[in-house]
Amino acid sequence: MIAIVDYGMGNLRSVQKAIEKVGYKAEITRTPQRIADARAVILPGVGAFKDCMDNLENFALITPVLKAIESGKPFLGICLGLQLLFSESLEFGRHPGLDVIKGVVKPFSPTLPDPDRSGGLLKIPHMGWNAVRIMKPVPVLAEVKEGSYFYFVHSYYVEPEDRQTVAMLTDYGGEFVSAVAFDNVLATQFHPEKSQQQGLAVLRAFAALSEKG
C-alpha cells in the first residue's frame, strides 16, 4: 500500500486516482500507523505554507512524515509537498518547514519581464505547462525525456543550499528548481498527477519502488 498523507489540504483524490491508474493501491490517510506500515509515502499539497505546516502539526503528522523519510522507504513530495520539506518559507512572513532539505521557499518576483509579451510581466502564479531540464540521472525519472512538459501551479519556488539535490530545472523568468532527488526522496514542483503520460510515467516508476526491498 502507498500512503497519501491527508492533512486536510491538497488534491488527494486526484493523486490517488493517478496511482491507481498505473496499477497500484493507494490509501488516503492521516493515521500514523498506516503511514508507518506503508511501502511508500506521498506528501501532496495545495495552499498556503504556514496553514499546511499548522495542519501537519495539529493532526500529529510531522513525526510520521519524518520517520517515513528516515526509514528509507520511497517518499514523494508534490508541489507544496516539495516546499514543506525545506527549512523555511517566505510566504506571508517567515515560517519554519520540516527542514529535511536545507534551503528556503521564495516568491516569484512580480516584476519579471515576459519575453513573449512586449513590455509585459510574467503572470503569477506560474500556471500551465512548462518544460524541464534534467540536471542529474535519477532512476525514478529515467523515462522522462529532456524538454518534457509538466503541469505547474505555484507562486513560490524552492532554493536548496545543496545544489547536488537538484534533479530538474524549469525556466520561468529565469530557471528555478522543479524537482529534487536524494536517497529515497523525490519531490516535484509540478503535478505529475495532472501531467498526462509523462506524469503517469513518473508515478508508475515511483510506485514500482514500493515493490522492492
State the catalytic residues.
79, 191, 193
**Angle, in degrees to the nearest 10, between helices 12-21 and 196-209:** 80
Q: Measure Cα distances from 6 to 28, 194, 213 in Å.
A: 6, 19, 25
Q: How many CB atoms lie within 10 A of CB 129?
A: 12
Which cell goes with 122?
Answer: 510574467
Phi, psi dihedrals of residue 140, rounded to the nearest 5°: -70, -15
Terminal-to-terminal C-alpha distance of the chain: 14
